[in-house]
Amino acid sequence: MILKKREPLAAVVGIGEIKPVRYTEGKTTLGMIAETVKLAVEDAGLEKDAIDGLLVGPQVGETPQHVPATVVEYLGIKPRMSNVVDLGGATGAGMLWRAAAAIRMGMCETVVCVLANTNERVKTGPRSPNRNPIREFDVPFGASGANTSYALLKQRHMAEYGSTQEQFAQIAYWARHNAQNNPQAIFYGKPATVEDILSSPIIVDPLHLFEIVMPVAGGAAFVVTSIESAKKLPKPPVYLYGAGEKLTHRAVSQSPPLAESPFKFAIAQALQQAKVDVKEIDLLSLYDCYTSVVANQIENAGLCGPGQFGEWMKDQSFDHNGNFPLNTHGGQLGFGQADLAGGMSHIIEAVRQLRHEAHGRQIPNARLALVTGNGATMSEITALVLGA
């Protein structure tokens, strides 16, 4: 059969495979993944830095979550797109078309798709060595949870730039302030002054209780369709104009300099695709699990220079009538974090604002929104530009 003038969607240019064995001894999933990826990259005639996309299966024995970030960190690559594909026996085939779709959208250029597993003879015997850096360099020293890891990032900012507790408290203040315009927010009717935030208990030095999201129950969903189909539906569509993604590490001990955070690359890519400047954005819908994460985004988005977020914030207003509306639904610090749905709330609010349905907190003439997502410890970053 001859395919007549059909445009190919992508090309497979390298393959790698290791010999099956009945049982493994002293092997790790991460090690086998690295061995297989090395073979495929060499077969393609590429250097590993050419890999800017990663698709991996869900079964990586050294980590129960944050699988792409763990694999990225182990391989020493920094992709602009990554995902877990979990389709059982269809996973390999599913990876190929997802890689092609990501390349077509401009998210990345070269994707490595990898699956590997160990099979130990004695399941109850001594475990194979765990080469996950978070288990070697973070957990033994007490950095085993998000609060500790994000506290280290805040501490690092204060040490490098001289930023103050009062400056970080401003971020939490504005989240609570904006939550007062959203009856759905967990802290609706419960504003907090800068003094309230600074007098809340220290959870992990230097993080105060009110600088940390409150876990809550909740849910969120959105529907995506084609441009043509969207025109036939009753509500005004909100379009995706740009997207960016970057993964750099899993363990906070392996994180890059604050001024080179993955937020910098993901936000820049999204803005570039959308052909807009960050100062043209009407809504900053920024992931805010901790105040230090918002500070990092403000700086890495180019709104101010490294270490200058505190001084910059003094001259701005961040409510729906302000010059830089920020998390007008209250953000997760004011709205609440319903696990992964907490991050999705930033998309929901952007759609409401761009549809002009954010009653009581509507940004006048809102046309563009920057939405961000953050996974692991400021290491799995996605940025979107949405427009009316």
**Angle value at C-alpha 218, between 217 and 220, nearest 5 degrees:** 155
Q: Are residues 164 and 246 in the same domain?
A: yes
Q: Is residue 17 part of a domain?
A: no
| Torsion sign, CA atoms 129, 131, 134, 136 | positive
Prediction pTM value = 0.83
Q: What is the pLDDT of residue 42?
A: 93
Q: Is residue 5 part of a domain?
A: no
Q: Are residues 57 and 172 in the same domain?
A: no
Locate 147 and state its tokens. Answer: 């609060």
| Residue 355: its H or E element | helix 340-355
Q: For the packed helices 29-43 and 67-75, what is the interaxial angle rounded to 10 degrees?
A: 60
Q: What is the pLDDT of residue 273?
A: 92
Q: Are residues 37 and 178 in the same domain?
A: no
How do strand 202-204 and strand 207-208 relate by DSSP bridges?
antiparallel
CA dist 343 and 285 (Å) reads 10
Q: Are residues 99 and 190 in the same domain?
A: no
CATH number where 89 lies: 3.40.47.10
Q: Are residues 66 and 187 in the same domain?
A: no
Number of domains in the chain: 2
**Angle value at C-alpha 249, between 246 and 251, nearest 5 degrees:** 145
- Tell which residue, 83, 72, 120, has the closest CA to residue 247: 72
Point out the domain boundary residue: 75, 103, 131: 131
Q: Is residue 7 part of a domain?
A: no
Q: Are residues 219 and 336 in the same domain?
A: yes
Q: What is the pLDDT of residue 182?
A: 96
Cis peptide before 206 (omega within 30 of 0): yes
Q: Are residues 157 and 292 in the same domain?
A: yes
CB burial class (10 A; 0-12, 13-18, 19+) of residue 46?
middle
DSSP letters spanning 2-47: ---SPPP-------------S-BSS--HHHHHHHHHHHHHHHTT--
Q: Is residue 308 part of a domain?
A: yes
Point out the domain boundary residue: 65, 97, 131: 131
DSSP-derived letter for residue 290 is B
Do 282 and 353 touch, CB atoms closer than 8 A?
Answer: yes
Provide Rg for the chain, Cα atoms. Answer: 22
Locate 155 and state its tokens. Answer: 């501490």
Do 263 and 301 touch, CB atoms closer than 8 A?
Answer: yes
| Residue 312: its H or E element | helix 309-314
Q: Is residue 12 part of a domain?
A: no
CA dist 41 and 37 (Å) reads 6
Q: Is residue 140 part of a domain?
A: no
Do 146 and 154 touch, CB atoms closer than 8 A?
Answer: no
CA dist 244 and 19 (Å) reads 37
Q: What is the pLDDT of residue 387?
A: 93
Q: Are residues 211 and 118 in the same domain?
A: no
Q: Across the 388 residues of the chain, what is the mean pLDDT of every consecutive 10-residue run?
A: 64 85 87 92 92 89 85 93 86 84 91 88 59 72 80 97 98 98 96 98 97 91 84 90 89 90 95 96 97 97 97 96 97 92 91 95 97 90 92
Q: What is the pLDDT of residue 1?
A: 46
Beta strands in the chain (DSSP E): 53-56, 81-84, 111-114, 202-204, 207-208, 239-247, 283-285, 368-375, 380-387
Q: Is residue 377 part of a domain?
A: yes
Q: Are residues 40 and 171 in the same domain?
A: no
CB burial class (10 A; 0-12, 13-18, 19+) of residue 123?
exposed
Do 138 and 292 touch, CB atoms closer than 8 A?
Answer: no
The identity of residue 243, as a single letter, is: A
CA dist 50 and 237 (Å) reads 36
Write out the residue range of the structural domain in which residue 167 sits: 146-387
Local structure of 337: helix, strand or coil? strand
Q: Are residues 233 and 263 in the same domain?
A: yes
CA dist 22 and 315 (Å) reads 65
Q: Are residues 119 and 230 in the same domain?
A: no
Q: Is residue 198 part of a domain?
A: yes
Q: For the packed helices 291-300 and 262-274, what is the interaxial angle rounded to 10 degrees?
A: 50
Q: Are residues 109 and 248 in the same domain?
A: no
Point out the domain boundary residue: 131, 161, 177: 131
